[in-house]
């Protein structure tokens, strides 16, 4: 057994942890395996979306655009746009432009699989300068490029900004975010992305999570429905399936294939810890071996009191302010808690709840239990 020394929390903090532990125990009780469709655990490789991005200008702002003295690329972008429209400005005049109603933005979009020219997609618009608000602005024609540098869509339209704000006399009130917006159906697809869906005499299914048991069950379900030898699990992530070569027949084949049901395997025991928020999530496969935990308390209090030294009359001295610090250290003895073996998640949560620790303290306790070999689960910190 291994003892772990951690500071306990107050009774009120421990009481706040009790409902959370009870909720975890109620929600995470072991559930029997359930049937899922193949489309819920795997996807056809090659059928994917593509990310698009572009650099553009938003005009029509009510004096909330970029401050061009600090954002010179806004002036340059506007000069380039005017030049494309046939308006050329002398360099000295272009450098003195004060464009309070213009803001430079980054436009992003997601091009779905099989998107064809003429179809529309949604775009997100985010300010890249010091614009105060994009509300009421209009995005002018902005080409959206893929990772290969080619133009796949053209975005333009009026922004929808889900926020509001007002300021006066040095006071400011703002609701939600004003420097980002969205244009529904704001981009038109100009080029289609070829997919390898109809290449070869087989398709490959990629599992959402790497698991050999799930890959085997997917192959078994396909072979049971279509005949032996139709599907083969290549590894814990991919399953190769023989498919018709005609486009229409292959589409029907994939549609029927995705509706096949499989029995999902029990997940591997895992504890996920969010070190930033202190959240701890355990799945139903987590078990706990017998162990002993020492839980103590150490508090350090530092207080400062100002001390003023006043000079005597007619001494022409100066008043001096000093700080007097008082440091107190208090340490309470820790109690050793004997935790028995816990075969179910409800028992694990109940055993950890007896420590009276908050999730923040539970992070270190779980790591120490894992290091001692008493936690039968994979520990993942995100």
Domain count, the chain: 3
How far, in whole angstroms, is CA 205 from its chain's centroid?
25
Q: Are residues 61 and 185 in the same domain?
A: yes
Q: Are residues 328 and 221 in the same domain?
A: no
Separation CA 13–CA 8 (nearest Å): 9
What string of pLDDT tens digits covers the 382 residues of the chain?
343 334 444 434 434 434 444 434 444 444 445 578 999 999 999 888 999 999 999 999 988 888 867 777 888 888 888 888 888 877 777 666 777 889 999 999 999 999 999 999 999 999 998 888 899 899 999 999 999 999 999 999 999 988 776 666 666 676 777 889 999 999 999 999 988 888 889 999 999 888 898 899 999 999 999 889 899 999 999 999 999 989 889 999 999 999 999 887 677 788 888 877 777 788 878 887 787 776 665 555 666 677 777 777 767 777 777 777 676 666 666 566 676 776 666 666 666 666 666 666 777 777 888 888 888 888 888 8
How far, in whole angstroms, is CA 11 from its chain's centroid?
34
How far, in whole angstroms, is CA 89 from its chain's centroid?
45
Q: Are residues 97 and 127 in the same domain?
A: yes
Which is nearest to 346 in space by CA: 2, 29, 7, 1? 29
Q: Are residues 75 and 173 in the same domain?
A: yes
User: 158, 189, 220 — which closes off a domain?
Assistant: 189
Q: Are residues 273 and 259 in the same domain?
A: no
Q: Are residues 241 and 290 in the same domain?
A: no
Q: Are residues 284 and 259 in the same domain?
A: no
Q: Are residues 63 and 185 in the same domain?
A: yes
Which is nearest to 241 in space by CA: 263, 218, 209? 218
User: 154, 189, 224 — which closes off a domain?
Assistant: 189
User: 263, 287, 310 — which closes off a domain?
Assistant: 263
Separation CA 72–CA 95 (nearest Å): 8
Query: Which stretches of the chain are DSSP H helices?
Result: 11-27, 72-84, 91-94, 212-226, 247-258, 345-353, 359-371
How far, in whole angstroms, is CA 321 from its chain's centroid?
50
- Cβ atoms within 10 A of the Cβ of 4, count? 21
Q: How many helices (H) and strands (E) does the chain have?
A: 7, 22
Q: Are residues 25 and 56 in the same domain?
A: no
């Amino acid at each position: 057994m291994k003892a772990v020394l951690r500071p306990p929390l107050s009774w009120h903090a421990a009481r706040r942890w009790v409902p959370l532990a009870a909720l975890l125990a109620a929600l995470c009780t072991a559930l029997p395996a359930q049937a899922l469709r193949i489309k819920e655990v795997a996807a056809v490789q090659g059928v994917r979306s593509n990310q698009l991005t572009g650099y553009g200008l938003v005009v029509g702002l009510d004096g909330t655009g970029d401050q061009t003295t600090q954002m010179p690329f806004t002036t340059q972008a506007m000069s380039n746009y005017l030049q494309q429209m046939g308006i050329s400005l002398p360099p000295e005049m272009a450098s003195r432009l004060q464009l309070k109603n213009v803001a430079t933005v980054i436009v992003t979009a997601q091009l779905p699989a099989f998107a064809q020219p003429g179809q529309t997609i949604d775009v997100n618009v985010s300010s890249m300068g010091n614009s105060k608000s994009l509300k009421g602005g209009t995005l002018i024609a902005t080409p959206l490029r893929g990772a290969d540098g080619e133009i796949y869509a053209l975005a333009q339209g009026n922004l929808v900004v889900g926020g509001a704000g007002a300021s006066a006399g040095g006071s400011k009130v703002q609701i939600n975010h004003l420097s980002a917006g969205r244009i529904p159906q704001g981009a038109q697809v100009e080029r289609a992305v070829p997919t390898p869906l109809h290449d070869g005499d087989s398709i490959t299914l990629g599992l959402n999570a790497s698991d050999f048991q799930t890959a085997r069950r997917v192959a078994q379900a396909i072979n049971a429905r279509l005949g032996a030898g139709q599907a083969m699990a290549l590894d814990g992530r991919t399953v190769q399936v023989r498919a018709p070569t005609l486009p229409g027949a292959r589409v029907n084949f994939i549609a029927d294939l995705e509706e096949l049901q499989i029995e999902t395997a029990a997940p591997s025991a895992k504890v996920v810890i969010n070190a930033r928020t202190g959240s701890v999530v355990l799945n139903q496969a987590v078990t706990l071996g017998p162990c002993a935990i020492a839980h103590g308390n150490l508090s350090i209090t530092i207080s400062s009191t100002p001390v003023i030294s006043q000079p005597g009359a007619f001494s022409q001295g100066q008043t001096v302010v000093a700080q007097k610090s008082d440091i107190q250290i208090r340490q309470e003895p820790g109690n050793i808690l004997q935790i028995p073996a816990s075969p179910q998640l409800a028992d694990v949560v109940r055993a950890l709840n007896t420590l009276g620790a908050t999730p923040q303290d539970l992070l270190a306790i779980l790591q120490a239990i894992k290091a001692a070999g008493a936690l039968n689960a994979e520990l993942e910190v995100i």
